[in-house]
Amino acid sequence: MTDLLHTLRAEFDKLRAELAGTRLTREDMCKRLGVESHTLTRMVRQGRVPAPRDGKWLLRDVLEWESQPAGDRRRTRVVVDQRESRVTPPEDFA
């Protein structure tokens, strides 16, 4: 039984190593999430899905993100608030 476990573990580790380098295209991600391209772009900007690296997503990042409960999925990227802000000069500003 332990030989079988060791064999399965070795095969699992081999498969995981192969998948770790697999990269997903935008089309792959859209299919995986069931969304359109513009929706995926918005989700990335909002930090709701992992950001791509060099235009593609690493499968290992996506699998790790998917394995988290939906409520616990942290933002994967800082989103800058692009609303206009007002700067109030100091009173003694001339």
Domain boundaries defined on the chain: 27-71
More reliable by pLDDT, 9 or 40: 40
Segment of 50-54, 71-75, 87-91 carrying the highest mean pLDDT? 50-54
* Predicted model pTM: 0.56
CB-based contacts of 94, cutoff 8 Å, min separation 6: none
Model pLDDT for residues 15-62, shown as the tens digit of each residue: 776 766 789 999 999 999 999 999 999 999 998 998 998 899 988 888
C-alpha dihedral, 71 to 73 to 79 to 83, nearest 10°: -10
Tokens at 69, concatenated: 């409960």
Q: In this predicted structure, what is the pLDDT of residue 42?
A: 94
